[in-house]
Every structure is written in C-alpha cells, then in structure tokens.
Chains A and B, each alone.
Chain A
C-alpha cells in the first residue's frame, strides 16, 4: 500500500528549488520569451545549484542560466527573444565553448518528451535525416520491422528530473488552468518529469468554484497527478509574456541584451536581473501593476 499523497501542494519558490540537486535534468516550459517560469529560474540563480542539464524552447531562462554558469548541458532547438532574435547571453556561452549541447529540431524535442512521458526508450521519426543533427548528437537510427523497412531516427526519451512551469491559476491541490492562446509543450514537460513544480498568478481555494464555470475546465491542460508543488508568484513570468494578463517586457529584454555587450560580465549585472529575492525583483521593475500593464504582443 502506498502512502497517501499530501493533498496540499502549496510551497514557496525557495522550497521548490530546495528539491533540486546539482546535476539534475530540468525542463522549463513556455516558448522563447513567452510564459516562462522566470521567478523559479531566478530562484535557481539565487541558489548554489550547478551542473544542470536544461531542456527548453529557450529564451532568457536559458540565457540567464548559461550566463550564471549553472548549465553543464543544454538540450535545445533554438534560443530567442522574438523581437531580439539572437539571445545574447546564450550566444556568449556557446561561442566560448562553455556548455555541452544536444541540438534538436523543435518537433524532435517534444517527441523526446513524449517518449519520456510514455516510458519509452525512443520514438521513431523521419526528422533529422539528411541533416547534421544525428551525427552531432549521436542519434541512432532504427529500421522498421514491417515490410517497408524504413530507416528512421530513434529520438531518445528526454527524461526530466524536474519540470518548471508558470500557469495562470491553480488551487492548492494542483489543479492548474492556462488561459493563453498557446499551451506550447508544457503538458509534455510535466509528463516527462519525475516532479513538476508550477508557479501561478492566482492561487484559489477550489478551482471548480471559479466564476468562469464548467467551461474553464478546458484550460486544465495537465491533470493534477502530474503536479508536485504550486507556488503563488504573481508576475512570475516577467520579463516574458503571460497572456492574457501582460505581454513580453521588451524594454527589460533590451536592457538585458545590452548588458551582454556592455559589460558582458554577468556577475556585475546579475543583481539587476535577478534581485536578492522576488519581492525586491518585482519592486525593481516597477511592481506588480507595472508588470501587468506591459502591453500584450501581436505577431
């Protein structure tokens, strides 16, 4: 008989990061500069954690972790801030040879998460054939056992120790809801991980009592059995976007990108982009109201 699962999953960011260990493989939800769990990333940056393997559709989360020397290996298809296409701190890390990488196609990355979610060693795909990805990444092929005998890339499972997400709403049991136009691959990061921790804009008592009624259940894209802990961190996506509440803070991203050129020394600017704690960070960017007033992006 298994022990009863603790029903109340509320934690704070520090307690979430206390669950992480040096050398872990950590998946980060969101996409580029969109709905990233940045408060949780900042908490990692305030911690002594090191030698992490990061799996992400990367934005400033990846750039900051690389700049701070937290990353041993990066598994990625791109790292970008949309309007600032090339993530400057990620570039510095790559161009100095500081990190190991497994570079993948965007579709292969989610395919690897799905393999991990289903407990499979790999999933077959045509994607990667005819490119340099397989040779560079040590990806092997598999031959169809059926009459077609097609040779396919065996995309290995991207098993995560931990996934980190930022969501619109949750209750204390870990019933989450996402209200943006795109869920990205958050569902698969959660299912590929042994533990998934989320930060949320709103923490409610019982999500089924919400004013939006039963239709809001469609926003529950990840069942709570995949959620290990919930932290209430309003503004926790800043400077990335949090639709429909606020857009990406391009002014903040520009300051961050400019700092990569001048002075280019993360330790000299880390305090500006990380802060001593989340309250100090939020205050330094004008408070929660200022974050919520960043206009939503059109593409």
Chain B
C-alpha cells in the first residue's frame, strides 16, 4: 500500500513532465524525490545537480552517502547558476514557501510585524524574485491550511505572482509561469480565469469541501478525478532514491495514500 507522501511525490513529479532540457530543482525531500523520479521515468532529458555544484545524469539519493563516490556529468555551481540556469530560463524549481496567496505570490522572508522589525524572521527572499520572473515554478505544501494558503496577500511578496496591482507598466512579465501546487490534500494549478488557482485532483478520500475549508481564499472546482496512485515501478524508484526512508518523516504517522473516511 502506497503512502500519502509517495502519492505526493508522484504528483509532484508530473510537474516536470515534458519540460525539455531544463534544470529540475526540487528543494526539500518531496520535491527532490519528485524531480529524481521524473528524470528516472518519463523525462530523462532533465538536467539535475547533486545538490551542491555538479550536474549528474543519475539523480543522487537523499541522505548520507559517500563523498568519494560522487560522479559528475557537468558543473553547475552557484557561481554560474544565474548565468546558466535562472536568468536564461533553463530551469523549473519546486519549492515550499511559507505562504502563498490567491495570486500565486509567495513569501519566504518574514511573518508579521514590519520589514524593519519582523515578528518572525525566516530565511530571506533567497532566489525567489529571480526564479519567479525568469522560469517555471511549482510548489509543494505538506500542511494545507489557511496559515499557508492565506487570505488577502502574503506578508512579503518574495516571488512574483499574477497580481495585476504588482505589474509595473513597461515591465516584462512574460517569464512568470506558475505551474502546479501539490499539497497533502490535492493537486492544483493556475488554469482558472486570469490564472486563478483551481483544484484539478483530490487525493483519495479527500473531498472538495475539505480543501476549501483549509484554504484562505476562493478556489475553483476543476476536479477531474482522484490523484493517481503510485505504481510498483514508481515506488521501487522512490525507495532507491530515498534509502534512509526520509520520506516517512514528512507527514505525522506516515499515513496511507487513501485518507481514512
């Protein structure tokens, strides 16, 4: 029986299908396993790093592994990352911001208070402003709630969304391309009118009302069915890419893919 996290990994991997020769970056265990699964199955043309500075043709497994066993097919250090991957649009990143709003604006910088004195300081905007204006982005949220899917707007807009009020006249926003949101409840995309967020599949045992209750803004019901279950081949590759079973720690008690009624 597949677990919920494995179902999410497969759902996330679909974001990378048919992207062409771009760098697939998954930040965090689920997005990273998803990118690796995509490369090992439907999209071998993806480029990928070892998480540090080298391009690899075999996705590296999660967790401890021998430093001396590393191989490299290429070199993509931070010192070349903007030149080669981000500012050329040759990348698709899947990340987990702290907040997202109805426009797809994301926040990783701070919560509450003011920018001069935040109530809770987080990482800082990192590369989100550049990522979101130059290349496709998708998101994984392990805890779908109104604290993450916020009413109104995020506390600090760290990544560009589809908010018309933020579109400076004369600016080129043609690279803004938000693709897929996977959560513990469902899969969403930005396919509604004016890129509105819509639910496209519900995880087994989840109903649309539960997603609405966990979201701080209105959602469009475009549910086309249940999120597909992982198959045995996918589960075997996920297990290979995660030999220490780090995925079992993502959700409390590591629940099965089908939610209890």
Contacts and interface: CB of A to CB of B under 8 A. Distances in A.
Contacts of A100: 116
B121 A128 contact: no
A288 to B, nearest CB: 20
B251 interface: no
Interface residues of B, number: 57
Contact of A105 (B75, B121, B128, B172): B128
A254 interface: no
Interface string B146-157: 000000000011
Contact of A151 (B70, B117, B119, B168): B168
Given A126-B134, A151-B170, A296-B67, A187 B79 contact: yes
A119 interface: no
Given A76-B124, A78-B126, A94-B110, A129 B160 contact: yes
Interface in A70-115: 76-80, 85-86, 90-91, 94-97, 100-101, 103-108, 110-111
A182 B75 CA distance: 9
B235 to A, nearest CB: 24
A126 B123 contact: no
B206 interface: no
B121 A143 contact: no
A295 interface: yes
Interface stretch (B9-17, B46-54, B252-260): B46-54
Contacts of A105: 125-130
Nearest to B70: A298
- Majority secondary structure, B binding face: loop
Interface in A129-160: 129-133, 136, 141, 143, 149-152
Nearest to B117: A97
A103 B70 CA distance: 35
A80 B170 contact: no
A31 interface: yes
A299 B170 contact: no
Interface string A276-299: 000000000000000000011111
Contacts of B261: none
Contact of B171 (A77, A86, A132, A150): A150
Nearest to B176: A130
Interface in B174-191: 175-176
B243 interface: no
B192 interface: no
A107 B52 contact: no
Interface residues of A, number: 50
Contacts of B52: 181-182, 297-299
A185 interface: yes
Contacts, number: 153
Contacts of B175: 126
A114 to B, nearest CB: 10
Contacts of B167: 130
A29 to B, nearest CB: 11
Contact of A183 (B54, B60, B77): B77
B122 interface: yes
Nearest to A94: B121
B147 to A, nearest CB: 17
Interface in A156-197: 181-185, 187
Given A95-B117, A110-B82, A187-B79, A131 B124 contact: no
Interface string B134-172: 100000000000000000000011111101001111111
B123 A86 contact: yes
Contacts of A17: none
A127 interface: yes
Contact of A143 (B127, B129, B170): B170
Given A95-B113, A129-B173, 10 more contacts: A78-B126, A106-B82, A108-B129, A127-B129, A130-B168, A130-B171, A130-B173, A131-B159, A133-B129, A151-B168
26 contacts: A76-B124, A78-B124, A86-B122, A95-B113, A95-B119, A97-B116, A103-B115, A107-B130, A108-B130, A110-B82, A111-B82, A126-B172, A129-B173, A130-B129, A130-B133, A130-B171, A130-B173, A131-B160, A132-B157, A143-B170, A149-B170, A152-B171, A182-B52, A182-B77, A184-B78, A298-B66
Interface of A: 31, 76-80, 85-86, 90-91, 94-97, 100-101, 103-108, 110-111, 126-133, 136, 141, 143, 149-152, 181-185, 187, 295-299
Closest 4 CB pairs of A and B: A299-B51, A97-B117, A151-B170, A130-B160
